[in-house]
Structure 1
Amino acid sequence: MSKIYDVIVLGAGPAGLAAGLYAGRSRLSVLIVEKGQDGGQISITDEIENYPGQVVDQPESGPSLIARMTEQAKKFGAERVSDTIKEVSLEGEVKVLKGEKGEYQAKNIIIATGAHARPIGCKGEAEFLGRGVSYCATCDANFFEDFEVYVVGGGDSAVEEAMYLTKFARKVTIIHRRDELRAAKSIQEKAFKNDKLHFMWDTVVEEVGGDGILSWMTVKNVKTGEVTKIEADEDDGMFGVFGFIGTIPNSDIFKGSVEMDERGYIPTDADMHTNIPGVYAAGDVRVKSLRQVVTAAADGAIAAVQVERSMA
């Protein structure tokens, strides 16, 4: 691809789509590169209640919100390509991105690659992924209708997804390594009122197993050291374990090119500038105190406006 864009946006989550919308509206030539489905993590969220402007008492799904963002970016001229970027060259006035399908060039780059679910970290986890272990309640909840499921984590996402799972599962138990939740108080209040939701405090999952499908796990009390084996109900023959213990930034491809912290997140200033001129980071991939749809969209808008001003 010989065209040199004003800006290439890597990622089509809320940050990337907002960046594409603002860049296109500013009459910049913009290309959004996304390797998978639009939306990133929010595309697997069943209900969003805290995005400004929503109709009160009418929460919508992540996919429906993202669909509107995608159409907005398209309306204002953002071009699209589906590709996986394998190599980047970010120095100089023209940045070069090499993907599986082609090569792309731009004067500016907005990194909006987001983050992905952090593994639970127990033995057997990878072996039983998709056979009892999941990181997406929206994707897999229906597989566990009338079964027991366990949710590992104690933050907003873990508790919200656990409540969603109660719509399907017979019983949902939150396993948390502390003796209190980290979720927002408003979310905790809803959780504690849910009769189908139970709690296993001061506990971590040590191992999961079964004969082809998840049917047992061992958990350890972090205070007493006691290890307990939990087995599926004989009639069920299986149960589910959902992990929601944080995220890992999708930034590996930029290692050695852009400054990162020890966890792989990209530091920026308030205007989304990285340490490389013409390279910006927006959304969950950057260092920030709050990772929500609204902050990701704001990041993308700021980054695009900064690109426009740099070229004025």
Structure 2
Amino acid sequence: MNKDRRAFLRNTSLATGLLLLQQPFRSLAAATANATYLPGNNRELTIWHTNDMHGQVTDLRPSGDTGILLDAGDFLHDTTNADGHRKIIAAMNRAGYHAATIGNRELAGGQAALAALIPGMQFALVNCNYRFTDKALARQVLPYKIVYAGSLKVGITGVGPALPAGSGVTVLSPVQAANDVAVRLKQEHGCHVVVCLSHLGYKQPENIADSRDLAMGSTHIDFVIGGHQEKIIRSTMVLHNARHHEVFLSQAGSNGAMTGFMKMQFDEDRNRCGIMPGSIMA
């Protein structure tokens, strides 16, 4: 099966080194501006995740939790007006989200409408396979976000599904785009964990990439958080990627009814040595 399975050919380390020498200050500034720092340690990391909330934001995490909180898209409701969207975003800000990806509902009102909402978000909006014609939106949506949890460095990216022809958004291959960013996060930025927020759906027809294809076709992604189709993955799936390494796939319930979590354990060299997935129901 050829669906989005092309291998990514990376530049040589010499070429990368030359690029960094040419633009050292710019690269450092960009990395610092796109990073968040949280308390934590180098032995355990907790990632909380939601998807398809459709405006029903609930914070089910224990009080005082210092983990990373992420959303895999469709956090807005497509029939809500701009004031309603801002209330949803304010609720996500209070809950402490660190990043979310773009679902089809976020773009239901058009590119300019979404761009107008982003300044009110205290979390990053990440996507690497959409190319926008709206310049403000193109500038504000990030290809990735880096979160430092103690001494652990976590890279977060996101991908979205095909959109209606009138959206004006060019949609690139999600598997290829996510792979490109994941390689960069692991090999150039030194991330210990790479998470992809996938609003592709759990099971699509043969010619359409879904979250399982993304996981199995990836090379440097560790954890795929799914959304778009209302399916609960009650037990985190352990799949094998294109390099035959383990990659995890989880998807929580929709409409704010459930928050999933993944606890990752690391050894003294910050290599992953265990996981403990789970969920909390509203």
- TM-score scaled by structure 1? 0.23
Task: Give the structure-2-normalised TM-score.
Answer: 0.25
* Higher Cα Rg, which structure: 1
